[in-house]
């Protein structure tokens, strides 16, 4: 059964969630334990989205609540102590400047324990290549809301292949117009139309590429 903090976040009760975090910190609870409860709450939010109980606006609100509840934890959790699941490079591909969907995906992935390197929007293929080389990330997420993003995704994946990185990197694409056909056209490994799908996919892949 989920604890009180996780439930407060999943019910989108920001004031209650922030208060609980403050009380637990004051009581000496390990910040990592509190963070785990916050992450559990976001997982519950994702499940509610999957079942149709929550919508995009609810995911956005949950993301803001997660930021508010974990902000007090940041200074108490040293970067050296954090043991994230792994690194993910993510961005909206060249020619597309939509960021709402991307930001929701970034928020849920971070809440799930991933170190997400958000490249922003209108990202050229080479930027993805350079970032994967610099970070050693094994998962790449390409976001796009416009049909013109299809070719940009194909170019980005081709650039990863040309750099010799493709064999060791899993690529997911996401956005409203994405389909299995687009996935095959671009050469990606998976596709999804919502943020929770990205988390589910990453959780499956991280075990394969670790």
Residue 65 has a CB neighbour count (10 Å cut-off) of 25
The number of folded domains in the chain is 2
Give the whole-angstrom CA distance, residue 39 versus residue 45: 10
Q: Are residues 151 and 70 in the same domain?
A: no
Q: Are 140 and 172 in contact (CB under 8 A)?
A: yes
Q: Are residues 24 and 103 in the same domain?
A: no
Domain boundaries, position 104: 87-209
> Phi/psi of residue 119, each to 5°?
-85, -5
DSSP 88: E
Q: Are residues 115 and 188 in the same domain?
A: yes
120 in the Ramachandran plot: left (φ > 0), alpha (ψ -120 to 50) or beta?
A: left
Q: What angle do CA 136, 37, 25 make, to 5 degrees?
A: 105
Q: Is residue 120 part of a domain?
A: yes
The closest alpha carbon to 203, from 136, 135, 108, 69, belongs to 108
> Is residue 190 within a helix (H) or strand (E), and if so which, with residue range?
strand 190-192
Q: Are residues 68 and 131 in the same domain?
A: no
Per-residue pLDDT of the chain (210 residues; tens, 9 = 90+): 569 999 999 999 999 999 999 999 999 998 888 988 998 898 888 889 888 999 888 988 998 898 899 888 866 765 434 447 899 999 999 999 888 788 888 888 988 889 999 999 999 999 999 999 999 999 999 999 888 899 999 999 999 999 999 999 999 999 878 999 999 999 999 998 777 889 899 999 988 876
Q: Are residues 126 and 148 in the same domain?
A: yes
Q: Is residue 123 part of a domain?
A: yes
Q: Is residue 47 part of a domain?
A: yes
CATH of the domain at 24: 1.10.1240.10
């Amino acid at each position: 059964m989920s604890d009180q903090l996780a439930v407060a976040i999943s019910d989108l009760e920001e004031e209650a969630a922030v208060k609980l975090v403050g009380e637990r910190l004051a009581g000496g609870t390990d910040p990592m334990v509190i963070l785990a409860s916050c992450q559990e709450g976001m997982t519950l939010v994702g499940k509610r989205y999957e079942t149709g109980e929550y919508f995009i606006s609810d995911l956005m609100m949950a993301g803001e609540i997660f930021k508010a509840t974990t902000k007090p934890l940041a200074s108490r959790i040293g970067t050296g102590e954090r043991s994230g699941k792994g690194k993910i490079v993510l961005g909206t591909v060249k020619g597309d400047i939509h960021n709402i969907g991307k930001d929701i995906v970034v928020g849920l992935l971070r809440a799930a324990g991933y170190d997400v390197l958000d490249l922003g929007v209108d990202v050229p293929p080479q930027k993805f290549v350079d970032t994967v080389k610099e970070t050693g990330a094994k998962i790449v997420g390409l976001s796009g809301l416009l049909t013109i993003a299809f070719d940009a995704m194909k170019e980005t994946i081709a650039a990863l292949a040309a750099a010799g990185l493709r064999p060791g990197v899993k690529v997911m694409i996401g956005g409203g117009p994405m389909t299995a056909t687009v996935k095959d056209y671009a050469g990606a490994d998976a596709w999804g139309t919502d943020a929770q799908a990205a988390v589910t996919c990453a959780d499956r892949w991280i075990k394969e590429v670790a």
